[in-house]
């Protein structure tokens, strides 16, 4: 079955710096890759996604890249702000009904 | 904004007691998921439904967990009897068939079994 590995598990950056979170997946049939942000005491919230026919997608300060050959995808946050501090989950979906989540990255943005 | 509503938000119960968690998915979503989140296991899929039919509950301990969807507006997750190792946050999420549009998660039920 699908397996998603996410790195790093913890990331600490200075406000204004960039943050990058990387994920790899095992099932080459995966075709949809969402990213979720989870703030303390809340459920994960979809913040951006990318489909397998696209290599990069950007939404303001966040961007995702996908390398299908290498089976890895990344989340990039530029000009980080304290409110970006949260746990971020990557996920991979194969077109059935299961989405497999990575283990999460706890991001700290220091003011 | 459309929301997934979960009740209760917090539940403290004694070992051996029955626990029922409820979820109201977003109207029109045809897929409902139950996830369990712990520090050690991350987001663990317990069960999911499509058009109210259970598709996969292989992630649940069958002897004590059960998930149902009696109608399109209500999904339930029951634990009977509960054990301390069941302490976790349980999330419900809903979405469309195929999942290529992401899921909307509820705020979760934090369960503590003492």
Residue-level pLDDT at A97: 66
Please give the share of chain A, as a percent, with pLDDT higher than 70: 97
pLDDT in tens, B80-114: 999 999 999 999 999 887 556 788 999 999 999 99
pLDDT in tens, A57-102: 999 999 999 999 999 999 999 999 999 999 999 999 876 667 889 9
Please give the share of chain A, as a percent, with pLDDT higher than 90: 80
Average of per-residue pLDDT values in chain A: 93
Look at residue B70 and tell me whether its pLDDT is greater than 60.
Answer: yes
Helix/strand/coil (H/E/C) assignment for every residue in chain B: CCCCEEECCEEEECCCCCEEEEEECCCCCCEEEEEEEECCCEEEEEEEEECCEEEECCCCCCCCEEEEEEECCEEEEEECCCCHHHCEEEEEEEECCCCCCCCEECCCEEEEEC
Mutating which of B89, B100, B107 best tests the A interface, going by the most A Cβ atoms within 10 A?
B100
**A contact set with B (CB within 8 A):** 31-32, 34, 36, 41-46, 49, 51, 89, 93, 95-99, 101-104
């Amino acid at each position: 079955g699908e397996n998603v590995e996410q790195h790093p598990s913890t990331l600490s950056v200075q406000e204004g710096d960039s943050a990058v979170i990387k994920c790899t997946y095992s099932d080459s049939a995966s075709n949809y890759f969402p990213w979720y942000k989870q703030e303390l005491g809340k459920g994960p919230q979809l913040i951006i996604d990318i489909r397998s026919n696209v290599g990069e997608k950007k939404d303001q300060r966040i961007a995702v890249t996908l390398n299908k050959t290498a089976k890895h995808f990344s989340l990039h946050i530029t000009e980080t702000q304290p409110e970006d501090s949260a746990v971020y989950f990557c996920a991979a979906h194969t077109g059935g009904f299961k989405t497999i989540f990575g283990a999460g990255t706890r991001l700290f943005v220091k003011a | 904004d459309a929301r997934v509503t979960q009740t209760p938000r917090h539940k403290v119960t004694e070992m051996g007691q029955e626990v029922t968690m409820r979820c109201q998915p977003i109207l029109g979503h045809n897929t409902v998921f139950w996830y369990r989140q712990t520090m050690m296991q991350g987001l663990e899929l317990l069960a999911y439904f499509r058009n109210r039919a259970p598709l996969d509950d292989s992630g649940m301990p069958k002897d004590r967990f059960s998930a149902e969807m009696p109608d399109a507006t209500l999904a339930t997750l029951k634990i009977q009897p509960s054990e301390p190792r069941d302490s976790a946050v349980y999330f419900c999420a809903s979405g469309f068939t195929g999942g290529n549009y992401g899921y909307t998660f509820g705020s979760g039920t934090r369960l503590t079994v003492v």
